[in-house]
Amino acid sequence: MASVGVAQSRFSLWLVISQPRTSRIPWISLAAALLVALAAALLAPAPAHAAARGAGTVRHGLSQPDYSYADAIREAVWVDTGMDGDGDGRTDRVAADIIRPREPAQAGRKVPVIMDASPYYSCCGRGNESQIKTYDAAGDIVQAPLYYDNYFVPRGYATVLVDLAGTDRSDGCVDVGGPSDIQSAKAVIDWLNGRAKGYSARSGGHTVTAGWTNGDVGMIGKSWDGTIANGVAATGVKGLKTIVPISAISSWYDYYFHQGAALQDGPEWLSDLVESDSAHADCAAEQQKIIDGSPRSGDWTPFWTARDYVKDAGKVRASVFAVQGMQDLNVRTKHFGQWWTALAAHGVERKVWLSQTGHVDPFDYRRDAWVPTLQRWFDHYLLGVDNGIQREPMADIERSVDHWTTDRVWPAPGTKDTSLVLGPTATAGLGTLGTTGHAAPGTTESFTDDPNLWEEDWASSVDTPTPAKTAFTTGVLTKDLRISGGGTVTVTATSTTTSAHLSAVLVDLGPETIRNYLGGGEGITTLGTRSCYGESTAGDSACYLDTAADTENVDHNVFSRGWADLGHYKSLEHGVPLVPGRPYTMTIQLAATDHVVPAGHRLALIVAGTDGGLILPPDTTPTVGIDLAHTVAHLPIVGGAGALHAQPAAARTAHQALRPAAPAPALTPAATLG
């Protein structure tokens, strides 16, 4: 309701201008009356409700919690996807649970939608507390996982939680990022915009329309959920205004392989994990298609093409707010890096947060800043609020634990692709890394693959010659060195057997305190206290367990990595057996990062074989020779070659380990994405 002063001034103006012409007061009196009324309006308190695009209320540039969460409308709709994944002769319907404010509906005002489409609403749960959906006796949602509904429904948004096909209350089959997964969410956006049919029941029922929404949708989600947001955006669907993918896949091939090297077991494991009981019974044929389409050879097949969203970045209409843990060993930063680069090439409006955590939601490592930032993002792109967020610095980066910096654009301004060459030393297996000192032709180093070791073992013994690795280091840096983006390492190698895997890792050598991303919380620890974001009901609390940084003092920090199967040196489409002793050249893609190696530290590049626990070993145990004269690293260095200031390698101090190498993570069975 408008304030009394504004209501009175509006009524006075109405009285003046609504008088019949014959009974109006002289024009001088009319002018005076107008001035008095306008003055009253200007001097009156600000209105309690200022509409933005006809939905939500905005004051001081922010949507306000003026609507009741307890009285919100809770309902379910089943949307026809137009597909028949389970082969039962009728098109599949996916369940969408809706929570929306009652007051705009009563006033005929239309609201935008925040959508999280997920396979995890019944099998595994969402968030740090693994929340699942719960329902009342009528089948309407009681607990909606996470805080989106609690916080945003009172601010004039609807939240829509979609069960992917084959999961929870939806028909169809899970196809792990393929057409069925993507159509599950896209069909709901089409329904919200009047282009698809919705029903009141999973079978039968009456048709339901979404007359309560303006059709503007923002998708959000972590891991598989965020992956669906990427995939739906890549369809170019109308009505999707923005996406917020958190630690999300951009190409499913790169979740299961890295340039031919297998990272974990096949996707059929994931589909089996999340499918509902009814889908298990009906989706055997679809499961077999998944198995047949994703052979463990590492070859790129049509199965992977259908799950590659990067190739369709040019279709993206939505803005993108990407969030990524730079030490995420589940959905690795390669996904973010290649997606970001493709979006930038097509001029997509975008923003990014990069943390030092692993696979962690920003709500659990920077909650007080995340929620208001997300609110402003949605306010701008879904409510049309001109709050300037799109003009603010593009990137927030966690530079050290809980210390964040910003950059106008990302990768950082002044970043240049810089060549670093590898040189030998008097000690076999140890070499130099720099812009000069290229090895003479014929200079080689070698290692023997040991799948029982991994990057932490290599890094903890970087200055000690060991059989399973080669290590190349700069001298002690005299100035900070910042690497911003994704690099490559081009290796010319020979193998003593018919198969070989290569690993390349970048290591910051020197003491520092980091987030313990290898710990159980992947950089956070969960506390016993709670903080509240939004409104609660008896069945859905807005209060969540607090967290704090889990830190570790280290003397080395692996901050970027990449892997490859040497047999795929020519093409990902078809790997070949190696000819022992024959040289092959392959470029290993390093995961995107933003890391500062501080003055007093050293930068190391380790080239080795199987990164145990992160990739599966080849079917032989090769000794691999590296031709140093034909091996080079290309790193995105801020300031280029001139920014690398280091003492001569001979002047460096010996690296003393402060901690033993951490045990390698278990690689199979595959960890869940969530």
Catalytic sites, residue numbers: 223, 328, 359
Name residue 573's amino acid.
Answer: E
Name residue 454's amino acid.
Answer: W
103: tokens are 């007051």
Is there a contact between 250 and 143 (Cβ–Cβ < 8 Å)?
A: no
452: tokens are 């029982």
Is there a contact between 197 and 90 (Cβ–Cβ < 8 Å)?
A: no
* 264 closest CA partner among 667, 674, 544, 672: 667
User: How far is the C-alpha of 184 from the C-alpha of 70, rounded, in Å?
Assistant: 29
Q: Is 112 exposed, middle or buried (0-12, 13-18, 19+ CB in 10 A)?
A: buried
Q: Please give the torsion angle defined by the CA atoms of residues 322, 323, 325 and 326, in that order, rounded to the nearest 10 degrees.
A: 40
The 3-class secondary structure across 554-617, one letter per residue, is EEEEEEEEEEEEHHHCCCCCCCCCCCCCCCEEEEEECCCEEEEECCCCEEEEEEECCCCCCCCC
468: tokens are 């399973």
User: How far is the C-alpha of 463 from the C-alpha of 459, rounded, in Å?
Assistant: 9
User: How far is the C-alpha of 80 from the C-alpha of 85, rounded, in Å?
Assistant: 12
405: tokens are 């910096």
> How remote is the C-alpha of 20 from its chain's centroid?
63
Report the DSSP pairing between strands 430-434 and 93-100. unpaired
**Which CA distances in Å does 622 have to 458, 504, 615?**
18, 17, 16
* 319 closest CA partner among 411, 406, 405, 219: 219
What share of residues in the chain are helix, strand, coil (percent, to 5)? 25, 30, 45
Residue labelled with tokens 């010996």: 654
Residue labelled with tokens 């947001």: 229
Q: Please list, residue by residue across 193-228, b when 16 or more beta carbons sit within 10 angstroms of its beta carbon and e when fewer do.
A: beebbbbeebeeeeebebebbbbbbbbbbbbbbbbb
Residue 112: is the preceding peptide bond cis (ω within 30°)?
no
Q: Please list, residue by residue across 88-107, b when 16 or more beta carbons sit within 10 angstroms of its beta carbon and e when fewer do.
A: eeeebbbbbbbbbbbbbbee
User: How far is the C-alpha of 200 from the C-alpha of 198, rounded, in Å?
Assistant: 7
